[in-house]
Structure formats: structure tokens, C-alpha cells
Amino acid sequence: MSKVTTILLLFCGVILGTAQAQNACIDCHRLKTPGIVSDWELSKHSRNAVTCDVCHGSGHSSTDDIANVRIPTPAVCAPCHETQVAQFTKGKHADAWAASNAMPTAHFQPMAMMSGMKGCNGCHKIGLKTEADIRKLKSEGQGYGLASCDACHTRHAFSKTEARQPQACQTCHTGSDHPQWEMYAGSKHGVRALLRQNGTLHESIAGPTCQDCHMSKGNHEVRTAWGFFGVRLPMPKDERWAADRTTILQALGMLDPDAKPTERLETAGEIDVMRLSDDAWQIERDRMTRACANCHSSRFASGELAKGDDMIREADHVMADAILEVASLYRDKLIPRPGNYPYAFPDLLTFHNAPTEIETRLFKMFFKHRMRTFMGTFHMNPDYALWNGWSELVEDYTAIKAMAENIRFKQTK
């Protein structure tokens, strides 16, 4: 939006909301919620007449009408921050709500883990909600967690300085299946940036933040070449790898036993789970290589990124073998194939709700150790790539083989 329109909008806001109503919000809330008012006072918004009612409406102005307050969505920020809202909407963060609710495992989760602010949707609340989602959240009770835009520059300071720190990503990009914070903080990249942050190193020393690599030039559209699942189309030329990836996509329910696309693959396409063409993949890879080239030679960077690709290929081979082992137990009717599993393969998307120990181990192998193997490689963390990743993956494989053998032995006795 142009500066002129911004100024006009602000001007209208000041004229429309009477000066008294604005003071009323602040005066009363200074007593009721002092932390919110003092944060707002620190923000650029307070210096630009973006008062409480600009975001929350003026439907509530006393203790009797609190239900009439507006809980803002990104649409409320859009008139003044069109660029960021448009970029965000095109990126992966915007899909986070839909992605988590589309998972088969969503139905097995306790309600508090799904309705927002806790568990799955404590992190996935960053995604845009549809009108129907918002109605549902409201009908379930309070209906907060609609904003998305307060995930990195938190309310009510809405500070760019906060958003630029790698800790702004920490709450969500952590833990079992996506420990980017841990991998980054322990890598030379993170160590440099964190020593700069605490004042030990010079303030201009090179040490990339998450944002330098993933939101370069302040671009709010986040997306990577391989994504979370580390799968993509078309299939690679390498035949062994193509066969392994087919098996993995079958266990994700995205290809059927005849390797034909399923409805799930369609949904995955809609929520941008993977890159579906070489071009789409290359755009993201080039964007990343350009970010590295601020500090390294492009040759160096491309070579390092290729090692991440190699580790996906290697991990896929071990992974696919383990999947086929479990599938063979279904085929030979040695463990029951759960009725809700769509195909002849174990369904990785049931997460930890898999019914047997061997299937649960397979889930962990995929979501925890296969992820760490390639994510650790991409994030320059040798310990995550090897000991927390590849080494554990190989151990899972041995354990799954042993469990399968045991099941077969028991049945034949």
C-alpha cells in the first residue's frame, strides 16, 4: 500500500473513532491488562495512532459487552501491510492450519491439542483459517489464535527487532520431527549469530540467522525445495531411488499399490506439501543458494546443499526397506492391517497412533530419524546428521527387522 493511502486510512481512523473512545480503551485496560498497554506503548503502532480499536473494533467498550470484541485476523493488518500479508498468504505458513487438520491423526488427538494454542495447533495456529474454521473455533469456546501475524513479532509490541532474531522461530521449529532450532543453535552458523547477539562478537560479524536464509529481504513467503517430508515429483532418474521414493509415497498414502496417484496426493498438492515439478524445486534451491552466496562461494554452497540431497537418497533406501518389511507382515496376515489404513502399506500419517510396536517404530524412524538425517545435513549440524539422525535410523532398521523376525517365528511355532 502506498504511503498516501496509509496516511489517509490513519487519518480516517482518528476522525471516526472519537478521541474519547480510544482513551477509554487504554485508560480502562491500563488497569485491567497493564502488560498489554505497556507493550502497545512501546510499539510503532502507538506512535502512529494505531490504537486498540483499529484492530479490535469498537463493539466492546465496557465490562458488559466483552463478547462483541473483534479478535483480529491477518485481514485486519492487510489494509496497512498489504505486501507482508500477500507474501505470507502465498507461503507455507499460511497452509499450516489446513495441513495439521487434514492429518488422519487429527481425529485421535485430544480436543485441547487441536483447538488452538496447545499441541498440534499450538504451532499450526500460524496457518490461515477459513470463515468456517473461525466459526468452529468460536463455537468451541473463546476463539483466539486467529492472527498468525503475531507468531514472530508478538503482540502487542509487534517488533521487527524481535522478529529478526532466530529465537522468534524457536517455539515451533523445535523437537522431535523438526529440531531446526537445536540443529541451528549448535551449528557454526548459530554459534556465530548467538555470540554476536550476546555481545561477545562484533555486531557486524557474519553469522546467518534463520531469517537470512529463509526470509531474505524480509520476504514473508517461506518455502524450501524439499520441504518437511523430503519427497518430491517427478521421480529421480536413479532407479533405486525412484523405487524407494515410490514405497515411501505409498506408505504416505499418496500413491496406491500400483503407484497411481491417490486423492491424498491431490490434497498434498493443494496444501503445497511437496514440489510437484523440477522447476518448482529449482526455484527454491536457487533462492537458497543465493542466500548462501552472501557469505560463501556459490560452488562451495551448491556442493554442500547436494550433500543434503544425497542424504535423502541414502535415508530413503533404508526407510523403504523397513516399510516393505512391515507391509510383508500385513500381506502374510501376521499382523492385522488396520481397517482405516487405505492400502497394503503401513500408514505413516497416523503418527504415534499406529497400533503395534513395530508400526510405531516405523513411524519414529520416518518422522524423527529420517528427518534429522537430512535436516541436520542441511543445517550444518554434524551431530544431528549422524548420531541423532543416520545412526538412529540404522538402529531402527535393525530393530524392525528383529521384531519382524520374532513375529514370524512366533506364528510358525
Could you say whether residue 218 binds ligand HEC (CB under 6 A)?
yes
**Count of residues of this chain found to bind ligand HEC when the rule CB under 6 A is applied:** 127
Q: Which long-range contacts (CB under 8 A, 24 or more apart) does 361-367 make?
A: 361/396, 361/399, 361/400, 361/403, 362/322, 362/323, 362/326, 362/396, 362/400, 364/396, 365/319, 365/322, 365/393, 365/396, 365/397, 365/400, 366/248, 366/251, 366/319, 367/176, 367/177
The least CB distance from residue 161 to ligand HEC, in Å, is: 6
Phi and psi at 176, nearest 5°, equal -40, -65
**Cβ of residue 54: shortest distance to ligand HEC, in angstroms?**
5
CA atoms of 38 and 26, how far apart (whole Å): 10
Using CB under 6 A, which residues numbered 166 to 195 contact ligand HEC?
166, 168-169, 171-175, 178, 180-181, 184, 188-189, 192
Which of residues 84 and 391 has its CB atom nearest to ligand HEC in the complex?
84
389 secondary structure, DSSP code: I
Task: Give the nearer residue to ligand HEC in terms of CB position, either 82 or 321.
Answer: 82
The residue within the footprint of ligand HEC, chosen from 294, 340, 406, 411 (CB under 6 A), is: 294
Half-sphere exposure of 130 (CA within 13 A, CB side): 7
Is the Cβ of residue 288 or residue 404 nearer to ligand HEC in the bound state? 288
Is 252 a binder of ligand HEC (CB under 6 A)?
no
* Cβ proximity to ligand HEC, 42 vs 402, nearer residue: 42
Report 323-382 residues binding ligand HEC (CB under 6 A).
Answer: 351, 375, 378-380
Q: 322, 397 in Cβ contact below 8 A?
A: yes
d(CA 43, CA 46): 6
Sole binder of ligand HEC in the list 115, 129, 137, 156 (CB under 6 A): 156
296 binds ligand HEC (CB under 6 A): yes
Residues 90-109 that bind ligand HEC (CB under 6 A): 92-93, 95-96, 99-100, 103, 105-106, 109
Q: Would you count residue 253 as binding ligand HEC (CB under 6 A)?
A: no
Query: CA-to-CA distance for 250 and 256, rounded, in angstroms?
Result: 6
Instruction: Name residues contacting ligand HEC, limited to 32-91 (CB under 6 A).
Output: 32-33, 36-37, 40, 44-45, 48, 50, 52-56, 58, 60-63, 66, 69, 71-72, 74, 76-77, 79-81, 84-85, 88
Strand runs labelled E in 51-184: none
Among 129, 137, 148, 254, binds ligand HEC (CB under 6 A): 148
> What phi and psi, each to the nearest 5 degrees, are found at residue 402?
-65, -40
Question: Dihedral (C-alpha) 347, 348, 353, 358: value to the nearest 10 degrees?
Answer: 90
Q: Which is nearer to ligand HEC, 128 or 403 (CB)?
A: 128
CA 208 to chain centre: 20
Query: Nearest approach, Cβ of 405 to ligand HEC (angstroms)?
Result: 31
Buried b (16+ CB within 10 A) or exposed e, 87-99: bbbebbbbbbbbb
Residue closer to ligand HEC (CB basis): 48 or 391: 48
